[in-house]
């Protein structure tokens, strides 16, 4: 009697929790056959609901112990705003969000040291002609959590053929 979509949400949630979970395990958890889950996962991938898989990495262990948020604002507000493309080559930038508010973008960056952050800030200012405001992360109580999906959410979009 529950909507079919329940199962897709369950699959997405399970894979968010363990991106390497086998189809066999997904099948057991969802009560479907292996081939049915397989088919659903492939369909979710094709539709872009599942956009890929990644490992969660300890940035401290790979020599990038420092995280910061950098808000940027164009120095010349009349110039075309192509900051994301201009900054894309800086691999220390993990994410770039266009935001409402005083500044135009928020960047999340990972660097090895204060010196590395200073250097990155100079590169950002030079590459995109922006002023910056930096907020250094001291610790991260949690990250990469996945929300509980209830039937109110996603039903319309996930339910299309």
Partner DNA sequence: AGTGAAAACTAGGCGAG
Partner DNA sequence: CTCGCCTAGTTTTCACT
Q: Which of 18, 19, 24, 133 binds DNA (CB under 7 A)?
A: 24
CA neighbours closer than 13 Å in the CB half-sphere of residue 1: 0
157 binds DNA (CB under 7 A): no
DSSP 159: T
Characterize the bridge pairing of strands 66-74 and 105-111.
Answer: antiparallel
Q: Which of 3, 18, 19, 35 binds DNA (CB under 7 A)?
A: 35
Backbone phi and psi for residue 70, each to the nearest 5 degrees, phi listed first: -120, 115
Yes or no: say if 151 and 15 are a contact pair by the CB < 8 Å rule: no
Yes or no: say if 26 and 39 are a contact pair by the CB < 8 Å rule: no
DSSP 157: H
Q: Which does 39 bind (CB under 5 to 8 A by kind): its own copies, DNA, none?
A: DNA
Q: How far is the CB of 160 from DNA (least distance, A)?
A: 9
Q: How far is the CB of 31 from DNA (least distance, A)?
A: 7
Q: Which residues bind its own copies (CB under 8 A)?
A: 9, 12, 15-20, 47-58, 60-64, 67, 69, 84, 88, 91-101, 105-106, 110, 112, 135-149, 152-158
Residues that bind DNA (CB under 7 A): 4, 7, 22-25, 32-36, 38-40, 43, 161
């Amino acid at each position: 009697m529950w909507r079919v979509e329940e199962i897709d949400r369950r699959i997405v949630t399970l894979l968010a929790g363990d991106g390497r979970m086998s189809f066999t395990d997904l099948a057991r958890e969802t009560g479907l056959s292996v081939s049915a889950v397989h088919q659903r996962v492939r369909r979710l991938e094709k539709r872009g609901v599942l956009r890929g898989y990644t490992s969660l990495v300890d940035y401290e262990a790979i020599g990038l112990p420092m995280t910061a948020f950098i808000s940027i604002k164009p120095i010349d507000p009349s110039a075309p705003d192509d900051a994301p493309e201009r900054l894309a080559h800086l691999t220390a930038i993990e994410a770039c969000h266009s935001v409402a508010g005083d500044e135009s973008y928020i960047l999340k960056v990972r660097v090895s040291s204060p010196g590395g952050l200073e250097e990155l800030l100079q590169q950002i200012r030079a590459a995109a002609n922006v002023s910056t405001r930096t907020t250094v992360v001291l610790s991260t109580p949690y990250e990469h959590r996945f929300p509980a999906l209830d039937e109110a959410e996603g039903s319309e979009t996930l339910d299309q053929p």
